[in-house]
Each structure stands twice: as C-alpha cells, then as structure tokens.
Amino acid sequence: MPQRVHLIISGRVQGVGFRFFCVDLARQHGIRGWVRNTEDGAVEVMAEGEEADLKLFVQGCRRGPRGALVRDCQETNEPPAEMFDSFEVTF
C-alpha cells in the first residue's frame, strides 16, 4: 500500500546537487512526488511510494549527495493521495 512522507532537510543542502540527487534516488526506488529548495536554505520533499521503497529513499535523503551535510531531516507521514505520476524538481 502506498505511503506518503513530507521531508524538510536542512544543513548544507543547496548548491550541492541535492535536488537532482533526490530525483535519481526516487527513480531508483519507484518514488513519485517532488523536491524543491526553500527560501530559508532547506530542501523540501513530498514523496509517495511503497513502504520499503520509501524507507530506502528517506535513508538516502538523510545522507544526501557528496558535498552535502545534512544536519536535520524533519519527517512527517501523511495520508497517500496517489496524485503524482513521476518525481520532479519544482520551484
């Protein structure tokens, strides 16, 4: 059964390819949703997928790409809406 998670990732996460890392990671795990930079320097993610795949995706987001330094990852589970067809960078 699909699940949904909302992440706010902070630290050195902008200017290091974090959003595109998330897109690649999402595609590897069949995750749908979006990722974007926030005005306060964080990265925000809304992701849906099967539980096991979503866990692996979130673990990857907690590490981030080479050059990133994740200091915090706030994770909120939400009811799945199954409204995404892919995973994309939004602005």
The catalytic site residues sit at 19, 37
SS3 84: coil
Count the neighbouring beta carbons within 10 Å of the beta carbon of residue 88.
15
**Among 88, 31, 18, 89, which Cα is nearest to 57's?**
31
CB-based contact 37:20 (threshold 8 Å): no
